[in-house]
Amino acid sequence: MASNIVALVDDLFFLAKIRETAKAVGTTVVTGDQRRGVAAIAEAQPQAIIMDLNSRALPAVDWIRALKSDPSTRSIRIVAFASHVQEQLISAARAAGCDSVMARSAFTQQLPDLLRSLGSDGTKPDESLPPES
């Protein structure tokens, strides 16, 4: 898998904030090619996807469902965010298979730690060391 995170976010100011935070924590965030659809994600094989459920450019819940039903993208972690008052949208994203759905305010607050977690390869530092003799 590539060492990047794909952001499917329409709000350019918010996307800039995500990218700046990613750079500060040593992670790479790239913009997803929404015109090419789910096929672009399957081809890129990112470590994770950050998705704005309020995107005007893509049907977010449909994308989540498609990504989680495709064996080539099923294991890619999807973190989505929306307004905390959009309970129906949040429930739909969870039902579609989204790994984590957060209120936009919580997403913003936890962004540095979230990006560190999403950008890591999932191993702890001592797991890469050979066993002691």
**Rounded (10°) CA dihedral 57, 93, 46, 39:** -60
Domain ranges, ordered by start, for the chain: 4-114
Q: Which pLDDT score, from 0 to 100, does residue 88 have? A: 94
Q: List Cβ neighbours of 88 (8 Å cut-off, separation of 6 or more).
A: none
Q: Which pLDDT score, from 0 to 100, does residue 46 have? A: 92
Q: Which CATH number fits domain 4-114: 3.10.530.10, 3.40.640.10, 3.40.50.720, 3.40.50.2300?
A: 3.40.50.2300
Residuewise pLDDT in 10s, the chain (133 residues): 345 899 999 889 999 999 999 999 998 898 877 777 788 888 889 999 999 999 888 899 999 999 999 999 999 999 999 988 989 999 999 999 999 999 999 999 999 999 999 987 543 333 323 333 3
Q: Which pLDDT score, from 0 to 100, does residue 3 have? A: 52
pTM score, whole prediction: 0.83
